[in-house]
Structure 1
Amino acid sequence: MSLLTNMISPSFVFCCISMFLFIDCQDKFIFPLTRIIDTVTSVNTYFRCGCVFLVKSLEQESQGKFSTDRVVYEQKLLASRRVASAVLPLPFPAGVQCGRNRPLMVITQHHRAVGLQEQFSGSHAMSNFFWLLFLDKSSSLEEFFTDINIPFDCEFLVAQPENDHAVGLTEVYRVSPTLPLQTYRFGNWTPDGGLTWPSRGFYHRRNNLQGLTLKTGLKLEGNNSESLNRVETKTFSGVVSRIWRQLENEMNFTTQYYEPEANTCNSSTSNASCAGINGMLQTGQVDVSNAATRMSAVRLATVDFTVPIGESRFYIVIKANDVFIKKWIVFATPFSLRLWIAVACIMVVSAICLTEIQVLERRNDEGNTEDFSFVTAMFLVVGVFCQQGHNISTKSTPVLLTFVTSYLTAVVLFACYSAGFVSYLTLRHSQLPFTDFKGFLKDGSFELLAMKRSVEWDYFKSSSDDVLREIYSKFLLRLEVSHPDTALEGLQRVCHHTKVAFIICTDDMMTYVDKINCTIVRIPEASFPASVAFALAKGSHFRGLFNHRLQQLRRNGVLNMWNWYVSSKMRHRVDPPKPSISIRVAKPILYVLAVGAVFAVGVLTVEICTKHISSVLRLAKGKLYAVQIG
């Protein structure tokens, strides 16, 4: 009795029913259910999916209890293999997700099912899931997927039986709905060996766009027709264009360029008819933009970006204020006060030495040197320190040693003075009114401009820094209606007004610095970084392939051209050139020369007059003396 009770237990009854159900249904399905479950488990393990969804059509649901029992049995088999599963009807309900991982969608296609492909094709964002479809061996993939578009970045596998035990897995996708179906042998599943997967990565298998034409937005300068002709014939230069041409060759696609009607939409806007390249991407007029686009969190809401192709930086720039000190102290700036005192002492000591040596030699009647006073010796020493010669001929060894020592000292001091003085004249820098954002806010005398709806505008608006938010509210919002539409317009306004500051990135500075008639200077610490990338339409299926190729270019050093180009051009084009010495700069030196010349003429006049007066007095005194004698 106990044995009979154990035999009719609920678990025993369920197993018997499942066994009879499984045996009864073998001829109604593609291949054995256990093989399907084993294949699903292996694929789920390979892709590391969080869960499995069993996709069922409305026709399968209409089969009633038979279909329900089979689904329950499938879920129990998956659960025994520690695979979480659930059933999803077609069309999918909204919000289907599986934690942080992409789920695996499994479609067990019955050989009598009609129109199932029309139900799941386009019913959801297919690229958000992994797909596994079971088809019979006789089904043709080209015919089955005739009206089905499998996106380029969608991992869609088709499982078909190959013999009594093996299951073949084929990867299918389309580059474009109008292009042929692409297939790739993904691997096999066998009971003994399990799943064999491909040795090549996803984008190593899908690296060819089959000559697809990408509609590309590009902002052009100057004559639009001429610029478009240069672009179409691929003769325009630049780092970004060279990177894009390399992507064309490696990914096998062509570019058809479109220019926006107005280049004013650089960020998000409440206006749905937003213009510019960003607007063209939002409305689907273009697929991608190969312009160097600055990335921002606000723009991510409307477009997608590739991985960065380079780094840029935004600076506050102002008109260079060439301030030069026109004071007589300019001649003393190369040396410190202590050094000037030391030089004066050396000159006085040298003059005293020459005078004393001359006095001692004359006392000893050696007669090896000319007679000169302390004043004459002082003039000689000053001439020596000014690199001037003299006409004194002497055989006195002490005098010669004194001159040699003075000349050696004078040469070193003169070289140091000349280097410092020339550097002061030629390498002078503008005196910056502020050096950072806090200094700009504290100064308060400048107007701050930024391009409308731009990255820099969003940076100040969404910043967590109190100083930047205050700058946004006090300066950017105050003059919103007068902000420039282009970088060139902003730089021109900086040139026209000395109290106007403009926020601009380094690559725009390099582009327009030759088109303005003034010298601009960057505020070194009033800056923030920005990444540059290609922009794509939101949800683009080719973003992953672009990222894969750009990462390869980065590893190969090609993308380093961007940073090299920016840094080198910044040194030669953005920073002000070394100024030449103008008459205004040399004016104090000319003043000294003029004063010296006038003083020399005055001294000469005084000497001549003194000598003439002395001669007249001497002559008059002689006549008077003769009269007295006579």
Structure 2
Amino acid sequence: MSRVLHVLVLSLVASRCAATLGVLLALQTHFHAGCVYLLQSQNTTDVEQMRILQKLMSTNGRQIAAYTFYDPNQLKPRTCSFNKPLHVLLSSDKSTKLALAELSSERGVMAKAVWLLFLDTLLEQFLEDVYIPVDCEFIVAQRSGENAVRLTEVYRMAKEFPLHRRHFGIWSQDRLHVITESLLRRRSDFHGFTITATSMNSPPLVILDEEKMKMRGGLFGSVWFSLEERLNFTTRYVVPSLRSWGTVYANNTTTGVVGVLADGQAEVGVFSMLITSRRMDVMDFTTPILSPKFHVFVRQPDGLQLEWDTYLAPFSVRLWLTVVLLVLLIALLLPNLYSLGRRHGIAEATQVPFKFKDSLFYVFGAFCQQGMEPSCPQLSACRVLYLTTYLTAVILLAAYSATLISFLSVKNAELPFSTLEELLKAGTHKLGCLEQSTVLSHFMDAKLPLYQQIYQRFLHRIHGTLVPDIGVGLYRVCSSNYAFIALYTDVIQHPPSERGCRLATLPASYFQSSLSLGLTLNCPYKAFLNYHLLTLYDDGVLHRLKDGLFASLNLQEAEHRAMVGGWLSVEMQHLLPILMALGTGMVLGATCLLLELGSGRRSVGKWTV
């Protein structure tokens, strides 16, 4: 009798294992799971099921591992060579329920595997104390008739929130019928869930009404509005006590927005969070939204420095020598042509002799676009030489004028230095940045000797170069020899009338950055936020929001030109070389007049005597 009973039990187990095996094989293929782990509690009475399943899976060419767990830590997802492992819970007793409840209390653990639970009891009752995050694929398999298994996926938006359940598929007659939609698409409805986020007002990227704790706009605020609409959730905002982006110190203590996320006071940071390696130790980030640059800003020099060769610079030395030789050559040819004409009787005689000094004066006048005197030789050969002289002079004057006008019209102010190395060597300016900022941490943790020198010489607290906000930093730039490291998106919102001067950037010193939304470590909403951020890219929404920001700030133009506006005027110092030449000529003329007067009086005295 006992032998017959044993055979009946084995046949029943084999029948159950056939359906379980079919579901296992189908789901492993569906999820492309590289590893399958069979798990059951030590208190289970059905010990034959695991052994039979392991043997049947091996028969079908699938390598699996089987474990009997004694504490929740043995349920933790194991490593797999590719894709997430498939953890199969064969037991559904009280020990399994308690182990799942304790394991799910550890943040970020459940989502590292795909879970399959074969359940013989009521679903809500068994999972009432288990937190299954929204990014975890947890499938519950329950028998539905003789040869069918119903599959249901379950999750919660947060601990102590209702359990969401959705039909995932059904296995029957050795075939699996499941939803083909991806996890990120089928769970893109957060059912009005309220996410706690930290933020603070920082136009133009984030505009937050801190009194009413309501987001008003800005690039990141508008992106968050779009995510709220697409994922169907609301937001409760928390403002950090220390109003700053935040810093991560060597002992992993944090401040500002970073501190709120690291301490778990909020899930998301709706703010332009700069991605750094140190921050990634205590928080997480979404895909980047904006990639601005950190520039070194200095006060633009008031005007051009005086250069005495300004009016000689349009032509090279060789060209100036050529022009001088041309003038001498033409001045030498004219009197010789005239003399030859008179000698052969083909040139009219003039009362005033036409000598080399007269010719030199007229040729110089031609190059200065002055006309010839009627007393100049009228010989045809001389007229041809006049014509070619004027044509040459017109072309040379046009080229000279165009180059000189371009030079006077375009203000290429010469900065005292163009790189950080030159700033160190010059020693004329101090370098500063925002306190509690990422730039400060960047130089503080730098391995490059140059950055280490900059931190020790300029950015250490003892030097007093750190400022609490952008406005104070720009005021120091305009009022003293102070260079300031900041983002273009932060500086451009302060117009020249507000900061008191025009700014220039060091052309060879900038740092590329990436700004994104901040997240807590192992945030269950990260994958969904990233997915819909990418859809915002693909749909063109994010590009439209960026274009709106750039248009309002005129940022695209500011990235590629010096920050100089308005009409440009020719200043006195531009004309100083010419005025000096004019003054020198007046003095020399007056001196010559006095010498001639003195010489004339002595001559008159001699004749009188």
TM-score scaled by length of structure 2: 0.82
Which moved further from structure 2: 334-343 or 214-223?
214-223
Q: Name the residue aligned to 1:589.
A: 578
Match of residue 187 from structure 2: 206
Separation of aligned partners in 1, 2:32 and 2:95: 30
Aligned residue among 63, 66, 82 for 1:85: 66
Instruction: Give the alignment partner of residue 316 of structure 1, picking from 282, 296, 299.
Output: 296
CA deviations on 1:154-187 (whole Å, 9 max, x unpaired) are 1111223334323232322233457654444433
Deviation at 1:547, TM superposition (A): 1.1
Q: Can you list the C-alpha shifts for 1:269-298, whole angstroms capped at 9, x where unaligned?
A: 368885422122223333322222110010
Provide closer, same or farther for how the CA distance between residues 466 and 361 of structure 1 changes in structure 2, counting only shifts above 3 A. same
Matched, 1:504 2:493: no
Cα distance per residue 1:286-318 (max 9 Å; x no partner): 332222211001001121100112322223333
C-alpha distance in structure 2 between counterparts of 1:345 and 1:368, whole Å: 29
Compared with structure 1, are the counterparts of its residues 544 and 222 closer, same or farther at alpha carbon in structure 2 (3 Å cutoff)?
Answer: closer
- In structure 2, relative to structure 1, the CA distance for the partners of 1:412 and 1:164 (3 Å cut) is farther
Residue correspondence of structure 1 range 284-323 to structure 2 within 5 A: 284-321=264-301
1: distance between equivalents of 2:539 and 2:208? 31
What does 1:334-413 align with in structure 2 at a 5 Å threshold? 334-363=314-343, 364=345, 366-367=347-348, 372-390=354-372, 392=374, 396-413=379-396
Aligned pairs for 1:249-264 (under 5 A) are 249-264=229-244
* Aligned 8 A contact 2:222 2:545 in 1: no
Partner of 1:269: 249
Q: In 2, distance between residues paired with 1:295 and 1:478?
A: 24
Paired residue for 1:489, among 472, 476, 490?
472
> In structure 1, how many angstroms separate the alpha carbons of the residues matched to 2:127 and 2:350?
115
**How many angstroms apart in 2 are the aligned matches of 1:19 and 1:384?**
125
Q: Deviations over 1:544-594 (max 9, x none)?
A: 011112223334455556887679615437733166432233333333344
Q: What is the CA–CA distance in structure 2 between the aligned matches of 1:89 and 1:44, rounded to whole Å?
A: 25
Contact residue 127 and residue 154 of structure 1 kept, 8 A = yes
Secondary structure of 2:311's aligned partner: helix
Distance 1:265 1:548, change over 3 A: closer
Q: Which residue of 2 aligns with 1:151?
A: 133
Match of 1:576 among 563, 579, 593: 563
The aligned residue for residue 46 of structure 2 is 67
Q: Please list the CA deviations of residues 390-434 of structure 1 after superposition, one character each: whole Å capped at 9, or x if unmatched.
A: 554886433332232122212221222223223333434344454
Structure 1: how far apart are the matches of 2:424 and 2:10? 79
Q: Is the 8 A contact 1:79 1:85 kept in 2?
A: no
**Structure 1 residue matching 2:446: 3-state secondary structure:** coil
SS of residue in 2 equivalent to 1:281: helix
Which residue is equivalent to 2:143? 161
Contact 1:219 1:263 in 2 (8 A): yes
* Distance in 2 between residues matched to 1:214 and 1:405, nearest whole Å: 84
Question: 2:156, 2:164 within 8 Å by CA — same for their partners in 1?
Answer: yes
- Contact 2:298/2:503 (<8 A) preserved: yes
CA shift in 2, pair 1:335/1:561, >3 Å: farther
> Aligned partners of 2:75 and 2:417: how far apart in 1?
55
CA–CA distance in 1 between the matches of 2:475 and 2:349? 74
**2:25 corresponding residue in structure 1:** 41
> Quick one: structure 1 residues 597 and 78, their matched pair in 2 at CA, closer, same or farther if it must change by over 3 Å?
same
Larger Rg: 1
Residue 532 (structure 1) shift: 1.4
Residue 551 of structure 1 corresponds to which residue in structure 2?
534
69-78 vs 347-356, which deviates more?
69-78
Alpha-carbon contact 1:506-1:570 (below 8 Å) kept = no
What is the identity, as a one-letter code, of the residue corresponding to 2:179?
P
The one-character-per-residue Cα deviations of 1:308-331 (angstroms, maximum 9, x if unpaired) are: 123222233333346744243222
Number of aligned residue pairs = 589
C-alpha distance in 2 between matches for 1:591 and 1:230: 64
The amino acid that maps onto 1:383 is: G
CA deviation string 1:47-103 (max 9, x = no partner): 23343344445xxx445xx33344444444444432223233453348652245533
Which amino acid counterpart does residue 35 of structure 1 have in structure 2? Answer: A
CA 1:393/1:43 → structure 2, altered by over 3 Å: closer, same or farther?
farther
For 2:369, the aligned partner's letter is Q
Distance (whole Å) between structure 2 residues aligned to residue 561 and residue 392 of structure 1 = 72
CA distance in 2, matches of 1:513, 1:178: 50
Q: Which deviates the most, 536-545 or 434-443?
A: 434-443
Q: 1:420 aligned to 387, 393, 403, which one?
A: 403
Q: Give the structure 1 partner of residue 432 of structure 2.
A: 449
- Following superposition of structure 1 onto structure 2, how do residues 115-130 of structure 1 map, counting pairs within 5 Å? 117=97, 119-121=99-101, 123-124=103-104, 125-130=109-114
State the 1:442 CA deviation. 4.6
**Distance (whole Å) between structure 1 residues aligned to residue 216 and residue 461 of structure 2:** 44
Contact 2:433 2:459 in 1 (8 A): yes
Deviates more, 1:303-312 or 1:368-377: 368-377
